[in-house]
Homo-oligomer: A and B are copies of this chain.
Amino acid sequence: MTDETLAERARDGDRRALARLLTEVENRTAAGEAALKTLYPLAGRAHLVGVTGAPGSGKSTMVAALTGEARKQGRPVAVIAIDPSSPITGGAILGDRIRMQIHATDDDVFIRSMASRGHSGGLAASTVAAAAVMDASGFGLIFIETVGTGQSEVEVAAIADTTVVVQSPEMGDEVQAIKAGLLEVADIVVVNKADRPGADRAAAQLRAMLTVGASADRAAVAAGRPRPKRPEVMLSSALTGKGVPELLAALDRRAPSPGSRLADDASLKRAEAQISGILAQRINARLHDPARAAARAETLKAVAAHEIDPFTAADRLLALLGNDSAG
């Protein structure tokens, strides 16, 4: 099977072809590159929804519930689940995926786990590429679920059209702190586990916190930083289904219109993530080609031994790159 037929078959609804294609794209093979070039013009229609939250907040259950709700409406749903992954064995490890198994036999629910590690050019670039392939294959709603905290959440928030932060009413100190960081990337904050005591109070506190943020806004603007978002706060229970239809409706209201893609922020950030990922990969490949690999290794060793500083080293490598990049 040629790559073009793989891309064509994915586009025409062949899920096995889609799965194979995603592997090619994720591994950044030449076949994946060729297929992505073919499919890219067809993408740009889907609503990319990032779903994140601290560990234990119930993100996966929420994605499963939203998926179920969208399926009731007959809409195909794709999920990219970014797993805290084994950096060495390369395997994704979350048993959470099990919660999506109710959708396992449904051909219009496509789930892809992606390890958070080992993406040359960056996780954001790989995520955007995978989403573009799903988008071109007819999935109009794509959830990107990230576990844990830190850089990956923020990167995902930057590439998603809409970001949902899921939080549980009862959480410890450190998790609270993590949450505060996540709040700033949220378009919608969902207080999950609304069936538990404290959920209403947590939502009220959150709303109060966001309302009194006006002075923080002024400080941010005075310091030349962008004004923080004012996310919508919703209550939901992924377990009982309470509030799930409302959440999906809120998401749909935020779906970008077909014409808004030309220069909206998320689209530009996706473009930037992909391009800089590919650039980094191309430059790295050039530094590893036979003509340069030895000089590169020597430079690295000299820095490791503190014989030269890393700035001098970087400038040497840039000069090395320049040798044929003008050609």
Decide if B301 touches A268 in the complex (CB within 8 Å). yes
- How long is the Cα–Cα vector from A180 to B115 in the complex, in angstroms? 13
Q: Which of B33, B267, B301, B318 contacts A263 (CB 8 A)?
A: B301
Chain A positions 143-188 with a Cβ under 8 Å from a chain B Cβ: 147-152, 154, 157, 172-175, 177-178, 180-181, 184-185
Instruction: Indicate with 1 or 0, residue by residue over A42-58, a CB within 8 angstroms of chain B CB atoms.
Output: 11100000000011100
Q: Which of A147, A178, A180, A271 has the most CB of B within 10 A?
A: A271
- How long is the Cα–Cα vector from A41 to B154 in the complex, in angstroms? 35
Decide if B36 touches A178 in the complex (CB within 8 Å). no
Decide if A279 touches B271 in the complex (CB within 8 Å). no
Decide if B301 touches A117 in the complex (CB within 8 Å). no
Instruction: Give min CB distance, A273 to chain B, whole Å.
Output: 9
Decide if A299 touches B275 in the complex (CB within 8 Å). yes
Chain A positions 67-102 with a Cβ under 8 Å from a chain B Cβ: 84-90, 93-96
Decide if A228 touches B88 in the complex (CB within 8 Å). yes
Instruction: Give min CB distance, A223 to chain B, whole Å.
Output: 8
On chain B, the residues within 8 Å of A96 by CB distance are 174, 177
Contacts A301-B262, A306-B261; A86 near B180 (Cβ below 8 A)? yes
Instruction: Indicate with 1 or 0, residue by residue over A295-322, a CB within 8 angstroms of chain B CB atoms.
Output: 0000111011111111111110110011
On chain B, the residues within 8 Å of A44 by CB distance are 305-306
A274 at the interface (CB under 8 A from B): yes
A290 at the interface (CB under 8 A from B): no
- Which single residue of chain B is at the shortest CB-CB distance from A321? B325
Chain A positions 257-279 with a Cβ under 8 Å from a chain B Cβ: 261-264, 267-268, 270-272, 274-276, 278-279
Contacts A123-B151, A175-B55, A178-B55; A41 near B306 (Cβ below 8 A)? yes
Decide if A88 touches B43 in the complex (CB within 8 Å). no
Instruction: Give min CB distance, A261 to chain B, whole Å.
Output: 6
- How long is the Cα–Cα vector from A36 to B270 in the complex, in angstroms? 33
On chain B, the residues within 8 Å of A284 by CB distance are 276
Q: Which of B86, B178, B305, B318 contacts A84 (CB 8 A)?
A: B178
A197 at the interface (CB under 8 A from B): no
A253 at the interface (CB under 8 A from B): no
On chain B, the residues within 8 Å of A304 by CB distance are 261-264, 267-268, 270-271
Decide if B184 touches A86 in the complex (CB within 8 Å). yes
On chain B, the residues within 8 Å of A324 by CB distance are 326
Q: Which of A229, A264, A303 has the most CB of B within 10 A?
A: A303
- Which single residue of chain B is at the shortest CB-CB distance from A319? B325
Give 8 CB contacts A-B under 8 Å: A37-B311, A42-B306, A87-B181, A88-B220, A268-B300, A275-B303, A279-B317, A323-B326
- Report A's interface with B, CB cutoff 8 A: 33, 36-37, 40-44, 54-56, 84-90, 93-96, 116-117, 123, 129, 147-152, 154, 157, 172-175, 177-178, 180-181, 184-185, 216, 220, 225-226, 228-229, 261-264, 267-268, 270-272, 274-276, 278-280, 282-284, 299-301, 303-315, 317-318, 321-327
